[in-house]
Amino acid sequence: MTTRTIRKSGIRKKKKEQSEYFFDYSLLFIVLFLLGFGLIMIYSASSYEAYTEFGDAAYYLKKQAVAIVVGMAAMIVVANIPYHFWERFAVLGYVVSVILILLVKTPLGIEANGARRWIRIPGIGFQVQPAEVAKLCMILFLAVMVCKMGKSVRTMKGFFLMMAIPLPIVLLIWQVTNNMSSAIIVMAIAILMVFVASPDYKKFVIAGVGVVAAAALLVFYVINSDGSGNFRFARIRVWLDPESDAQGVGFQTLQGLYAIGSGGIWGKGLGQSMQKLNFLPEAQNDMIFSIICEELGLFGAIAIIVMFIMLIWRMMIIANNAPDLFGAMLVVGVIGHIAVQAILNIAVVTGSIPNTGISLPFISYGGSSVMFLLIEIGLVLSVARRIQLKEL
């Protein structure tokens, strides 16, 4: 073999080793586990209500399964597209989010369970929740802005600019769709992304103290005021004393706590919940964690919390090893979305914070939520695929 042949062989070997990229199978497994577990719990929590209302015990299960299949297909597509491709759609996504939220007030808007938060896509009969679109688009837009602003994001002017960007979307979600929980999540995503992008934590500590003080003043005001007609004030009052309105605003909170308490350490067994028999409202949606606690006990609840911690940990590894700032910020935004939403849901169910409608990621019933969460996971996998394992 000649020296020239050996040299060419070495070059081909070098190129081959340079082309080896990372794929996080652990992340994918965790997501698939949560989806599968979610389908099982949705069927368990909703079978009685689905049979009594629709004559089909698997009604909610089938709808969720369709949403998961669509979401998985979208995830695979997004994971195989270089994530920088989406930079050019950041502004468009922001504008589309605003338009979709405003469409809720048009004839395309759909009201369900006393809330008008969905729109129907003409022609295909598909329903989408604009707030879920806004969460994804906000992650993309803020990631682009952090990269464009560079070091200026660390200044006070840059900080206030980044905090002002999500405000129009937050206010629209809150006022137009009357969905404060989603508005809080969008704002929390922005805060976390700016927090990671800026090494100066002093302003975040000051802002955090201010928010806590404002919340304390609000609670004090609610306690010492009439607040009649304001259902959010009523929720705060019931949070402090659930039994004060056990048959009204506090009914769902109390039934959820009954479910958690009756589950004990090991639970009653899968499918053996009593609270799902028309006692606990939204058992398959916002309150599904209560059913998990009742049927699988403290052990099952801790297992699910550990799975979410592992999911966030895997995404943190991807963010730390991302090829560039844009990829890292995309992953940080997804971490913020999933972490905040999971924490808020569990906090609401356990009575740690006032009740607000918010689903448990990947597990609660909700087509729009699971589809856009899977698209976000696709973005994370796209970033992960660009991480080189070997460089010579």
How far is the C-alpha of 185 from the C-alpha of 337, rounded, in Å?
Answer: 7
Residues 275-289: pLDDT tens digits? 888 888 878 888 899
The yes-or-no verdict on residue 3 having pLDDT over 50 is no
- For the segment 2-11, the average pLDDT, to the nearest whole number, is 48
What percentage of the chain has pLDDT greater than the value 70? 90
28 CB burial (10 A radius; 0-12, 13-18, 19+) = middle
Higher pLDDT, 211 or 317: 317
**Confidence label for 304 from pLDDT (cuts 50, 70 and 90):** very high
Instruction: Kindly report the average pLDDT of the chain as a whole number.
Output: 84
Closest listed residue to residue 372, CA positions, set 97, 171, 29: 97
How far is the C-alpha of 221 from the C-alpha of 152, rounded, in Å?
Answer: 39
Q: What is the pLDDT of residue 228?
A: 57
In the sheet that holds 126-128, the strands lie side by side as 109-112, 115-121, 126-128
Closest listed residue to residue 169, CA positions, set 182, 153, 156: 182
CB atoms within 10 A of CB 14: 13
Q: What is the pLDDT of residue 76?
A: 94
The yes-or-no verdict on residue 78 having pLDDT over 70 is yes
How far is the C-alpha of 127 from the C-alpha of 67, rounded, in Å?
Answer: 11
- For the segment 113-118, the average pLDDT, to the nearest whole number, is 73
Contact criterion met (CB below 8 Å) for 215 and 353: no
Tokens, residue 372: 């856009």
Residues 139-191: pLDDT tens digits? 999 999 999 988 888 888 888 888 899 999 999 998 888 888 889 999 999 99
What are residue 127's DSSP bridge partners? Answer: 120
Closest listed residue to residue 257, CA positions, set 289, 231, 285: 289
The yes-or-no verdict on residue 33 having pLDDT over 90 is yes
Q: What is the pLDDT of residue 389?
A: 61
The yes-or-no verdict on residue 93 having pLDDT over 70 is yes
How far is the C-alpha of 36 from the C-alpha of 40, rounded, in Å?
Answer: 6
Contact criterion met (CB below 8 Å) for 137 and 97: yes
Q: Find where tokens 């009914």 sit.
A: 251
Q: What is the pLDDT of residue 392?
A: 31
> What SS3 state is found at 5?
helix
How far is the C-alpha of 374 from the C-alpha of 147, rounded, in Å?
Answer: 24
Q: What is the pLDDT of residue 17?
A: 43
How far is the C-alpha of 191 from the C-alpha of 337, rounded, in Å?
Answer: 11
Contact criterion met (CB below 8 Å) for 254 and 246: yes
**Confidence label for 123 from pLDDT (cuts 50, 70 and 90):** low
Q: What is the pLDDT of residue 11?
A: 44
Task: Give the range among 16-20, 52-56, 77-81 with minimum mean pLDDT.
Answer: 16-20
Residues 223-276: pLDDT tens digits? 777 655 566 777 777 777 777 766 777 788 888 888 888 888 888 988 888 888
Contact criterion met (CB below 8 Å) for 173 and 183: yes
How far is the C-alpha of 191 from the C-alpha of 198, rounded, in Å?
Answer: 10
pTM of the model: 0.89
Report CA-CA distances (Å) from 158 to 88, 99, 327: 22, 27, 20
CB atoms within 10 A of CB 98: 16
Q: Find where tokens 């209500």 sit.
A: 49
Contact criterion met (CB below 8 Å) for 294 and 337: no
Contact criterion met (CB below 8 Å) for 166 and 218: no
Amino acid occupying residue 279 = F
Q: Find where tokens 């609000």 sit.
A: 218
The yes-or-no verdict on residue 80 having pLDDT over 50 is yes
